Amino acid sequence: MEFPFDVDALLPERITVLDQHLRPPARRPGTTTPARVDLQQQIMTIVDELGKASAKAQHLPAPITSASRMQSNRHVIYVLKDTSARPAGKGAIVGFLKVGYKKLFVLDDREAHNEVEPLCILDFYIHESLQRHGHGRELFQYMLQKERVEPHQLAIDRPSQKLLKFLNKHYNLETTVPQVNNFVIFEGFFAHQHRPPAPSLRASRLSRTTAAEPTPTAPARKLPPKRAEGDIKPYSSSDREFLKVAVEPPWPLNRAPRRATPTAHPPPRSSSLGSSPERGPLRPFVPEQELLRSLRLCPPHPTARLLLATDPGGSPAQRRRTSSLPRSEESRY
């Protein structure tokens, strides 16, 4: 890839490492130094153009590598330039490799979740006209030596078929461990971890939870304080006035004299419901002879007429049969 500025002077080394600050590398002695702001702007232009070319080659809807993304993440980009190509003495860019550490949850060969933070291959691009010339292997091998990692310890984010063939050809990475996310890891990724045998995913998850957080003891249950007996109401907070007022019986029972003498010993109070509701004094029992004498001497009450009208046995035919009896037999009842 060619640019309108001098790439060879901007990037003095064949492979230049750029971090999130995108600062220009140290200048070689004897070269002119332009304004530092202009140099940083040129580096940002290179990163943006490389990201667009990589997205186009991978058929992505948007670039995943740009100067703004680099400045907002702690990633590292390795830029490879072509020292032999000197169109107009400005040099050219061959490709780039972006890596970064990410915290991931990956599955091992026993389907157990593992929280790891490996070095991830985030973007890899070599110009189409310079592929199959050894530039990709040179750039990848330089990154492995710089980061001090092995190829099987890497996690690749959405690798293309070209990248998978590249890793299989140069590093014998063929067998992958299935994952539920977009990252791909190869067999041997967990080789450096000494893990106890885990029979199942649920058992390993339970053991990790138990080791991290011990089971807390159940707190003692506190009961509410018992209220005083006088504060407890037998039914509800509303006043039940109809329990305190005695119902007036119909005539002639209401003519019996009332007993005004209170009881000497009130009924015992309940220990759980408090005092019983107050009721009016009961009237004494009226003998049958006195009741019949009152019924014969007094005129019928409207209430009695209503009871006779509603009583099934008080039909006119029944009253006629009763009235035909002699007076002596009628007085028995």
Q: How far apart are the C-alpha atoms of 55 and 64, rounded to whole Å?
A: 7
Distances (CA, A) of 175 to 114, 120, 149, 178, 192: 19, 18, 19, 10, 17
Q: Is 308 annotated as a binding residue?
A: no
Cα–Cα distance, 99 to 78 (Å, whole number): 8
- Is residue 179 annotated as involved in ligand binding? no
The answer to whether 165 is annotated as binding is: yes
d(CA 294, CA 106): 102
Using alpha carbons, select from 217, 219, 195 the residue that is nearest to residue 207: 195
167 is in an annotated binding site: yes
Rounded to 5 degrees, φ, ψ at 105 are -115, 110
The identity of residue 184, as a single letter, is V
Is residue 3 annotated as involved in ligand binding? no
Asked if residue 137 belongs to a known ligand binding site, the reply is yes
The reply to whether 125 sits in an annotated binding site is yes
164 is in an annotated binding site: yes
135 in a known ligand binding site:
yes
132 is in an annotated binding site: yes
Please indicate if the annotation marks 127 as binding a ligand. Answer: yes
136 is in an annotated binding site: yes
Q: Is 130 annotated as a binding residue?
A: yes
User: Cβ contacts of residue 264 below 8 Å, gap of 6+?
Assistant: none
Chain mean position to CA 278: 56
- Residue 128 annotated as binding site: yes
Annotated binding residue at 168? Answer: yes
Q: Binding site annotation covers 75?
A: no
Rg of the chain over Cα atoms, rounded to whole angstroms, equals: 51
Does 242 count as an annotated binding residue? no
Q: Which segments are annotated as binding site?
A: 124-137, 160-169
- Residues at the binding site for acetyl-CoA are 124-137, 160-169
